[in-house]
Amino acid sequence: MLYNNKSTHQHADHHCHDSCQNITHNHAHNSLHARNINKNHQSNLGRENHDHIQTQTNDLDPPPDEPDQQSPTVKLTWKIQGMDCAHCAQKIENGIKTLPDINQIKMTFSTGKLMVFVPNNNKEIIKLIEDKVVELGYTPIFESLPHHHEHSHSLDKKALLPLVTLGILIVISYIILLINHDIGKYAFIVTAIIGIIPIAKEAITLTRSGTPFAIETLMSISAIGALFIGAAEEATMVIFLFMIGEMLEGIASNKAKKGISSLVELMPEETVIVVDGNRKTVASHSLKPDDIIEISSGGRLPADVILISEQASIDESALTGESIPVNYLYGDKILAGSLVVDNTIQLKVVSETGQNAVDRILQLIEDAEERKAPIERFIDKFSRYYTPAIALLSLLVMVIPPLLIQTDWYTWIYRGLTLLLIGCPCALVISTPAVITSALSSAAKYGVLIKGGAALEHIGSIKMIAFDKTGTLTEGKPQVTDVINRDITTEHLLTVVAAVESGSHHPLAKAILDYAKQNKIVFTEANNRKAIAGVGIQGDINQETFYVVAPNRLDTLSPQLPQEDAQLIQQLETEGKTVVVVVSHQKLLGIIALQDVLRQDAVSALNQLHQLGLKTLMLTGDNERAAKAIAQQLNIDYRAELLPADKLNEIEKISTTTAIAMVGDGINDSPAMKAATVGIAMGSGTDVALETADAALTKNSLLSLPKLIRLTRFANRNIKQNITIALGIKLIFLITSLFGITGLWLAVLADSGTTAIVTANALRLLKLKK
């Protein structure tokens, strides 16, 4: 096809890998719809926006506790393995804070990266930090280079051993209990002790490391309290359910963290460098500005570069989410991580080590997470006050009455122990995971993966949803929408275009070829298929030359468009469509329009979200005209021509006043998804988008979204009900136990009964209908 520079669509002839685009460089991530802009103006815009990415990133506000840049500090970095949740990251931070000579700590859960700022770099400090991390139950891997490939870890089989062992012991204890009740009681006591030992050890370690009332401490007190009053069976089951909950959370987190490495993997480890005409392979991280590199077709760019070959077709979909390759010319800037589509090309490096486009997106993800206040589980917050307060009250009840009013010790010790059991938040510990597990199960039926209880709570509270356009609200690939023939039949027009496009692998060309095949058009590849740099493609059929060209490049062939056709093309472009024209002998033969069409479920899903009272917003890198066309079809507000940093800024601005979810599918959406109250990824999206999200639509259907909102709102109500039930019954029995109205056996019944009630309430989520 004939196309302008970064306009519509162009093909290279040697390797049949086509390069074409209808996109200006300053909006290189736009889809099909940018139009004719002067080449010099395009290049300048490209430079401005490339620099804009850098400026946006560098101007991000530093964290409030950033160390004083004037004081001498050394940054030490580790990769931490074994973390299951953001709570683990908080434990590590609290633990390292207790060490000497620590200026500042930054622990990022999504990337598993620990950064510690210390006065000087010596082996003693490194060993102290690593020993503390190991003591807390995690594995530190010291990093010395800017990029390390991460390795995803599935559930550790060793982690299953305590759970399986405890399960077997519970079954054995029940069998013994059925045979001999007294011996069975002792069997349960032994089982409970075996189960509580590892949890109690971790609770002690956490207490020494600055987290005295973590959930491990809560569990230890609950189980020991139950043992103390003879409720060994309950103690055992509480431990067992707790261990199951921790294991499930670990599985979800491991799946959630698989994708971040794909960002690093966009960067090739080795690159061919050209020095005085000689080629040699070097490590990519050793590249410096002004180095000349050579990348073959199918290779990725290791740095931000300037093209010094005549032209290149570049696939930026991994970085921008936009499906159509961009055609670049000599002197244009191209971002790291992009894929070379056609010929071997030479480029000049312009970015410093650690400062390319991929590095900046990684930094955006980390910064977005850092600005987001760490979410602590309700049970941990509550236990900081509830558990120690009840333990203190229990002790006072045991001691003060006998000392002050000389009553018998047994009565008040008995009441104190009863209070201790009432104070054990077993129902809370069990019921919250029960709600989450039930909600996750129901969500899976709807085609949604929710990553943890915090995400569940936040999704249910959102008031606005922001959407990426390409691949989220639209199909993410162009389709032929209009075929207008002039002086020849539609079949003849399609035959000509298909023959010229035959053999191409470009998205626009493939869309036209697919359309021709759907209409059962028979064609053979044109002869002398040839690309014209920055213009389009031509081919010969029966010794007649045909051109496929963007309307704004017709001046290179001299034909004048009739006024009627010029108005028709303008109307199609106003609708956000990409238009190509077919000419021969300076005569117009036909017009073909293509567009990235809406998903079939987009309109219905958006309507349901509006009915649920949610505001909606579309954030896109696409041009204003294309964005407006889509927004009008969906009745949605929009912001167009946004870079990844711009999307992040929009989300941050909104999230200060409104709970907002961001739905996306590309790497460029990841920073915004992290900064939003909730990030939701499309199942067809990149691994990084899925990783950074709090939830993923695994069936790749937008109709799952309103179902998810209904489910999470119901779950939030359920959790509040459970908390009210658990604490309400506890309060009633706490008062009755204090006055001796209820004894140990009723306290056990109340505790178990409350647990049963809240668990049954949680199971209602499994039966939730549409």
Distances (CA, A) of 369 to 272, 597, 654: 36, 33, 16
Q: Can you say how many angstroms the Cα of residue 696 is from the centroid of all Cα atoms in its chain?
A: 8
The catalytic position among 332, 468, 669, 694 is 468
Helices (H), 482-540: 490-501, 507-518
- Active site includes 468? yes
Cα 218–Cα 223–Cα 228 angle in degrees, nearest 5: 125
State the Cα–Cα distance between residues 501 and 89, nearest whole angstrom.
Answer: 54
CB–CB of 203/217 below 8 Å?
Answer: yes
How many Cα atoms are found within 13 Å in the side-chain-facing hemisphere of 210? 11
User: Which structure tokens are listed for 275?
Assistant: 């020095």
Q: Tell how strand 311-315 and strand 339-340 pair up.
A: antiparallel
DSSP output for 121-146: --HHHHHHHHHHHHHTT-EEEE--SS
Residue at 48: amino acid letter: E
What backbone torsions phi and psi does residue 757 show, to the nearest 5 degrees?
-65, -50
Tokens of 188: 């349960």
- 740 DSSP assignment: T
By CB atoms closer than 10 A (0-12, 13-18, 19+), residue 278 is exposed
- CA-to-CA distance for 64 and 139, rounded, in angstroms? 28
CA-to-CA distance for 98 and 93, rounded, in angstroms? 9
Determine the 3-state secondary structure of 506 from DSSP: coil
- For the beta sheet containing 311-315, the strands, ordered from the edge strand earlier in sequence to the opposite edge, are 326-329, 311-315, 339-340
Where helices occur in 563-643 by DSSP H, the ranges are: 563-574, 602-611, 624-634
What is d(CA 119, CA 673) in angstroms, rounded to the nearest whole number? 35
DSSP H/E element including 75: strand 74-81
With residues binned 3-state (H G I as helix, E B as strand, rest as coil), the percentages for the chain, rounded to 5, are 50, 20, 30
* Residues annotated as part of the active site: 468
